[in-house]
Amino acid sequence: MALSLSCCHATLHLQQHQVASRNNSSKNLDNVRSLVNRIGIASVQSSSLQSLQNGNWVKLICGASFEDVVDIRNLSLVYTLAGVDCIDCAADASVVSAVNEGIQAARGIIGVRRPWVMISVNDDQDLHFRKAEFDPENCPIDCSRPCEIVCPANAISLQEEALKELSQVAGVSGVLKGGVITERCYGCGRCSPVCPYDKINLVTYVRDAATTVKLIKRGDVDALEIHTNGRQTTYFQELWDKLGDSSKYLRLVAVSLPNIGRDLTVSTMKTMFSIMESQLHCLNLWQLDGRPMSGDIGRGATRETIAFAAQLARTNDRPPGFLQLAGGTNFHTVDGLKKERLFQSTSIIENSTNEELSSSLNALIGGIAYGGYARKLEGS
């Protein structure tokens, strides 16, 4: 039976135990193995493709800019045991290796299936591809440090350091050191607006296409996700051309886009699909990014992606491809889909009439991706 989209209940047990310390102690893995044997892990019989077709697909989002390889390995281990269908990570060789190490460690504990490994890239400036940046020495020593408090990734660490040469100066006790832990920052942007002194910058970047192609051809990547703003397709075309025929090495290509209104969204999807079609040698998926990087906030965060999904599910003329929710997904997302009659449904039922939107029996919504909420569960 496919994994429940209420998001990996097995992790509620596993998260209480340290999966792998920064010393990668084999003792920790032995503890997890004993725990798994004691509580049991339900076997997932369906393939990742079948999960998409049935509406059971669950993807773990490590973060397109999150590069802490120890945490990524731990996340991958825990959620492989929980039965996710796909693990999405930064398009970085060391990060991909960490994901695969976590998967391998999980499969060494119990014979679970291997989830697909996905890497994320961007065609232009994107919220998911940025890092916070500031010089802590420019911060007032008495700052209440709201940036450190609000950061969901614990990516800001500040320590007060005394300055001997200033110890005799009235009112000056030292400076702040530390700042942003770059590999942990995934670009949520929550720190910038709370800074009382406007010291924090958000620096964007674009992943290199040539490096991405090499990574795809390495043999341990199954899927690619392209993040786009959806408002123009020029940069998307340029990136796709640079990727060449690399999709023949993949099982899935996903395009992540925001809701820019039904008509414009569908028009943009059609244009992007026409760009991809001749070199698309695998399955394709549309990731509906409702409220980016907000799943850990609370119930209301999921409303935008539910509304986005309902909008597109009721659209007859959208291009081919599975639909998957992201951006604000959390414990309440499945309930939201059920209220819209979209959970594992192959048709829309309105006014007691059954309107088929596809000639196939695939679910209208292939599944859900969990990012901030999944990391919050694992780290709590």
Length of the chain counted residue by residue: 380
Sign (positive/negative) of CA torsion 195, 196, 199, 201?
Answer: positive
- What is the rounded distance in angstroms from the CA atom of residue 41 to the CA atom of residue 20? 19
Contact 128, 122 (CB under 8 A): yes
pTM of the predicted model as reported, rounded to 2 decimal places = 0.87
- The CATH code belonging to domain 130-204 is 3.30.70.20
Domain boundaries, the chain: 11-128+205-379, 130-204
Closest Cα partner for 366 from 51, 86, 83, 116? 51
Q: Give the H or E element holding residue 244.
A: none
Residues ≥6 apart with Cβ < 8 Å to 255: 225, 226, 228, 269, 272, 284, 285, 286, 287, 321
Q: Which residues contact 242 (CB under 8 A, 6 or more apart)?
A: 209, 210, 213
Nearest to 64 by CA among 126, 150, 115, 151: 126
CATH of domain 11-128+205-379: 3.20.20.70
Q: What is the C-alpha separation between 51 and 366, in angstroms, rounded?
A: 7
Per-residue model confidence as pLDDT tens for the chain (380 residues):
344 444 444 454 454 454 544 455 566 676 666 666 666 666 667 899 999 999 999 999 999 999 999 999 999 999 999 999 999 999 999 999 999 999 999 999 998 999 999 999 999 999 999 999 999 999 999 999 999 999 999 999 999 887 655 555 555 568 889 999 999 999 999 999 999 999 999 999 999 999 999 999 999 999 999 999 988 899 999 999 999 999 999 999 999 999 999 999 999 999 999 999 999 999 999 999 998 877 767 777 899 999 999 999 999 999 999 999 999 999 999 999 999 999 988 875 443 333 333 445 789 999 999 998 998 887 65
